[in-house]
Amino acid sequence: MIRVFLSFLLLPSVLLAQSEMARESDRLFDHDSLDARLRGRAIIFFDDGQSRFFEDGRYTYTYADNGGTGYGYFKVMEDSTVCIAFVTGAERCDLYVTDSRGRLVVITSTGDRFPTRD
């Protein structure tokens, strides 16, 4: 658990770069709004993959058609970003925005956009 906490300390430079990937029409979240939107809830992507954000900070991603589940811990950061430390040691930070249609969209560090169904 200490390793997970320490990994979150190294993420601020990643967050700054990601916020530049948002489109002009995207709306960013403040920390509290994004936390309230995700914590204790699940979001479903158009490929039927599902991210679950548990109240206690646990995170799971279940691939479409029950193709397996990844486990980790999430932390809502400033600047509309969520960072996940997986139990495998992998880490990622994604930008969460609302697009011009009002949909929640996850933007990866490479700029890929994944709209959600909710």
pLDDT in tens, 16-71: 445 567 888 899 999 999 999 999 999 999 999 999 999 999 999 999 987 899 99
Overall residue count recorded for the chain in this entry: 118
Closest alpha carbon to 70 in 46, 51, 48? 51
Instruction: Note the Cα 13 to chain centre separation in Å.
Output: 16
Q: How many CB atoms within 10 Å of residue 18?
A: 22
* Claim: this prediction has a pTM higher than 0.85: no
Which residues are 28's β-sheet partners?
97
User: 2-115: which CATH topology?
Assistant: Lipocalin (2.40.128)
What are the residue ranges spanned by the domains of the chain? Answer: 2-115
| Rounded Cα–Cα distance for residues 7 and 11 (Å) | 7
